Structure 1
Amino acid sequence: MDWVRGEAIGHGSFGRVSLAVPRNQSTQVMVVKSSSASLSDTLMNEKLILDEIKGCPQIINCLSDSYTYENGEKLYNVLLEYASGGALSEKLKNSGDRKLPEFEIRRYTKALLKGLHYIHKCGYVHCDIKPQNILLGEDGEVKIADFGLAKRAESHDNLRCELRGTPLYMSPEMVTAGEQDTPADIWALGCVIAELAAGVPVWKYTDLTQLLMKIGVGDELPEFPAKLSEEGKDFLEKCFVKDPRKRWTAEMLLKHSFIANQDDTVTLNDERCMSGTPTTSPRCPFDFPDWVSDDSAESTVTCPITSLPSPAIQELMNYNGGSWSTEPAERLRELLVGETRPKLSDWSAADGWVSVR
């Protein structure tokens, strides 16, 4: 596809994001993600995965890729469909009280689950579900985006010594054991839902060590928004199960009464509240009859972290002799040893962050 680059609209650890149009058709707007060809592993990974999982309406569509030479540099470019509604994080930030009404949350949740179910069925884990990576189309339809950190499910080779994704949305098993499979996406989904309802991330923290300790050690769970319905709280309980083997799957959650009766055709401008008699929510897996824009991080809890920086990763590994401890509590306890623990102020600047692979 022959195309023309437009204005820059964002950037990430991989490179920059710009608007683009086909050279001979100025009415079609696209998005192009570009990086130096020598540093394009993340973008190439995203392109390969999007090609394999194409066809799901809840996943951003990849149009093509290409190499270009600009200002003496060879760039790798991935062309994506343009989601004109922006990121869900922006919608949340721009809402009146920085939180969304429950009928909208239910609708978004159902669409996200459809996308996650498709991703998992195709054999992949997204690894970085968060409001910044959930885009909205012109009519408010959900589009899961940014698959640069995605990986094959049950693929653990060479991953045990690395954290993958965004700390605020990491699952306990990722923090304590470096394990990230499909249940990790469900934990992150719960974090997103709670944040949409409360207007702030689920964890309060002062530094990276404190955050990881909260997630990985003990029985503490994210706080449920007080105004969320009992159905919503029950839904979150199914997402926030410490043991990933007992956490509900996307397929199971699609049958939960919190979202089972939601109408996917409702647009962003529809102000009516979702109604209808809810079905009884299954209480355990055996109750089912059949189975078939980049935001800069800030030091406040009102803005999600966008990525875990490589200096923090190295700091964590240094406390463990270059590798993760085999005992989760011991591994995280070691983070508290020493006088130079990684503080939030040390890694809050987005310009210094890189994707953690």
Structure 2
Amino acid sequence: MDKYCKLQKIGEGSFGKAILVKSREDYKQYVIKEINISRMSSKEREESRREVEVLANMKHPNIVLYRESFEENGSLYIVMDYCEGGDLYKRINAQKGVLFPEDQILDWFVQICLALKHVHDRKILHRDIKSQNIFLTKDGIIQLGDFGIARVLNSTLELSQTCIGTPYYLSPEICENKRYNNKSDIWALGCVLYEMCTLKHAFEAGSMKNLVLKIISGSFPPVSLHYSYDLRSLLSHLFKRNPRERPSVNSILEKSFIAKRIEKFLTPELIAEEFSHRAFHKYGAHPVPAKRPAQGQIFVSPAPAQKITKPAAKYGVPLTHKKVVEMPKKVHEKKPPSRYKQAQQTPLKKVNPGEERRKMFEELARRRRLECHEKEKKKREQINLLKQEHMKRQEKERMERINRAREQGWRSVLSCGGSGEVKAKGTAC
């Protein structure tokens, strides 16, 4: 601790204290998490040190950056970057009832999802996703923090049963003391999204018992119709009571209205690296579990999570696989040995992952422009049609007025001279 000067305590919980400090070397501000391990059992100490190992492997622009760790006087100290913008919980409360624009909500939500993807792809559960653990930098970038109760899953059959987390963000399966996996993080993600849309918790009650009952029932006040159908529909899927029916973070990021925002926050190179994990899960050579997992759920290989990095490079798995179709050979046809050998040695064309990703986003943008163009065209046609109908209606009304005037004039003429009698001079008809 001699390297740092304590400024103030900024948080405290079951884990210990969070202290804002200033480095004596570079004069920058950091947050030090102080965990008292002197009274812990050997197992608890190991779990505390595990947090350091987890943090050391989290290198992502939307995750709070780990700097270093050390032990002194019976305490474990973890040094992390300081987010000057505060946490999302304080940002929501600062609104004073004024709802956020949808673009702002989606920008924040995409960054949270990108951070959670980085975590889930490494077979880690965060297990304490809440607005207090989502931070803002001075530039307004979202960073996910506090992996103090996260845990690496080391077996395909192991599912955590520990009931940990802030009550407002607990999933139905945790409330019912059932097994859970990454889908509980998805439920908590839904709670954060709801909080950003309404500035309130999705599930609130006067007692823990009533809160649990509300969560298990899965009923929550609807979000304002001010927000789009896509956003409201996504929220309802995140709050599915059955964990198997909730989407994975990867499938959330594949939705068109979410995917088009990814390139705002990740470089093409980082996009290619992050999304290469999908290729590994699909084509990797790890053993298939005896029981097939539900769609989108995380099941992991026995290998340590920290070794599963850049699988495309490590295992030679390209990001895009082209299916090679062999043509049927003709009967009695023999190819010369040299040509056959040459064909066998011809390598497959390498695919640049960054280029493929860029093309995908360009195609999404092109489709979007076409959709907007079609919508504008239809809108103009409808306006023209309405104008034509309005002009026809006006012309019809004008002709009706003329006809009525003519009829009225003939009636006046007939009433004056149609009887055959001569009226006195100057007498009005």
Alpha-carbon distance between aligned partners in 2 of 1:68 and 1:261, rounded to the nearest angstrom: 47
3-state SS of paired residue (2:26): coil
Shift of the 14–201 alpha-carbon distance from structure 1 to 2, 3 Å rule, reads: same
1:106-146, Cα deviation, whole Å (9 max, x unpaired): 00110011111110000011111110000111111111111
How many residue pairs align between the two structures?
Answer: 262
Please state how far the C-alpha of 1:75 moved relative to its aligned partner. 2.5
Letter in structure 1 aligned against 2:80 = L
Q: CA RMSD in A?
A: 2.7
Shift of the 98–170 alpha-carbon distance from structure 1 to 2, 3 Å rule, reads: farther
Please state how far the C-alpha of 1:98 moved relative to its aligned partner. 5.3
Please state how far the C-alpha of 1:231 moved relative to its aligned partner. 1.1
Please state how far the C-alpha of 1:97 moved relative to its aligned partner. 2.1
1:252-294, Cα deviation, whole Å (9 max, x unpaired): 001224422236648xxxxxxxxxxxxxxxxxx89xxx999xx
Alpha-carbon distance between aligned partners in 1 of 2:320 and 2:37, rounded to the nearest angstrom: 44
Alpha-carbon distance between aligned partners in 1 of 2:146 and 2:48, rounded to the nearest angstrom: 9
Aligned pairs for 1:168-207 (under 5 A) are: 168-207=168-207
3-state SS of paired residue (2:176): helix
Alpha-carbon distance between aligned partners in 1 of 2:96 and 2:65, rounded to the nearest angstrom: 31
Report the equivalent of 1:280. none
2:56 aligns with one of 16, 41, 51: 51
Alpha-carbon distance between aligned partners in 2 of 1:98 and 1:139, rounded to the nearest angstrom: 22
For the pair 1:254 / 2:259, whether they are aligned, the reply is: no
Larger helix proportion of the pair: 2
Report the equivalent of 1:354. none
TM-score (norm 1): 0.67
Mapped contact 1:14–1:43 kept (Cα < 8 A): no
1:11-67, Cα deviation, whole Å (9 max, x unpaired): 2222211122222221x1111011223247465342221113x21111111100112
Mapped contact 2:160–2:181 kept (Cα < 8 A): no
Shift of the 67–189 alpha-carbon distance from structure 1 to 2, 3 Å rule, reads: same
Gaps of 5+ in 1: 267-284, 293-357
Mapped contact 2:183–2:243 kept (Cα < 8 A): yes
Shift of the 178–44 alpha-carbon distance from structure 1 to 2, 3 Å rule, reads: farther
Aligned pairs for 1:119-130 (under 5 A) are: 119-130=119-130
Mapped contact 1:8–1:19 kept (Cα < 8 A): yes
Report the equivalent of 1:135. 135
Letter in structure 2 aligned against 1:68 = E
Quote the sequence identity (%). 27
Gaps of 5+ in 2: 266-294, 297-318, 322-429
Letter in structure 2 aligned against 1:49 = V
Shift of the 206–173 alpha-carbon distance from structure 1 to 2, 3 Å rule, reads: same
TM-score (norm 2): 0.56
Shift of the 210–51 alpha-carbon distance from structure 1 to 2, 3 Å rule, reads: same
Letter in structure 1 aligned against 2:55 = L
Report the equivalent of 1:224. 222
Report the equivalent of 1:330. none
For the pair 1:241 / 2:247, whether they are aligned, the reply is: no
Shift of the 98–151 alpha-carbon distance from structure 1 to 2, 3 Å rule, reads: farther
1:161-215, Cα deviation, whole Å (9 max, x unpaired): x411112111112222332311111111111111111111001311101111222
Alpha-carbon distance between aligned partners in 2 of 1:15 and 1:30, rounded to the nearest angstrom: 16
Shift of the 147–263 alpha-carbon distance from structure 1 to 2, 3 Å rule, reads: closer
Alpha-carbon distance between aligned partners in 2 of 1:115 and 1:144, rounded to the nearest angstrom: 6
Alpha-carbon distance between aligned partners in 1 of 2:94 and 2:105, rounded to the nearest angstrom: 15
Alpha-carbon distance between aligned partners in 2 of 1:10 and 1:164, rounded to the nearest angstrom: 18
Give the stretch that moved more between structures: 82-91 or 230-239: 230-239
Report the equivalent of 1:109. 109
Mapped contact 1:235–1:256 kept (Cα < 8 A): no
Mapped contact 2:153–2:159 kept (Cα < 8 A): no
Alpha-carbon distance between aligned partners in 1 of 2:98 and 2:129, rounded to the nearest angstrom: 20
Alpha-carbon distance between aligned partners in 2 of 1:108 and 1:291, rounded to the nearest angstrom: 29
Shift of the 291–196 alpha-carbon distance from structure 1 to 2, 3 Å rule, reads: farther
Shift of the 247–37 alpha-carbon distance from structure 1 to 2, 3 Å rule, reads: same
Letter in structure 1 aligned against 2:137 = G
Report the equivalent of 1:208. 208
Alpha-carbon distance between aligned partners in 1 of 2:153 and 2:183, rounded to the nearest angstrom: 10
Letter in structure 1 aligned against 2:9 = A
1:64 aligns with one of 61, 68, 82: 68
Report the equivalent of 1:93. 93
1:234-253, Cα deviation, whole Å (9 max, x unpaired): 11122111211121010000
3-state SS of paired residue (1:259): helix
Give the stretch that moved more between structures: 225-234 or 113-122: 225-234
3-state SS of paired residue (1:85): coil
Alpha-carbon distance between aligned partners in 2 of 1:90 and 1:47, rounded to the nearest angstrom: 27
Alpha-carbon distance between aligned partners in 2 of 1:256 and 1:153, rounded to the nearest angstrom: 28
Alpha-carbon distance between aligned partners in 1 of 2:207 and 2:135, rounded to the nearest angstrom: 28
Alpha-carbon distance between aligned partners in 2 of 1:186 and 1:23, rounded to the nearest angstrom: 40
Alpha-carbon distance between aligned partners in 2 of 1:135 and 1:78, rounded to the nearest angstrom: 17
Report the equivalent of 1:278. none
Alpha-carbon distance between aligned partners in 2 of 1:92 and 1:165, rounded to the nearest angstrom: 20
Alpha-carbon distance between aligned partners in 2 of 1:8 and 1:195, rounded to the nearest angstrom: 26
1:287-319, Cα deviation, whole Å (9 max, x unpaired): xxx999xxxxxxxxxxxxxxxxxxxxxxxxxxx
Mapped contact 1:163–1:178 kept (Cα < 8 A): no
Letter in structure 1 aligned against 2:125 = V
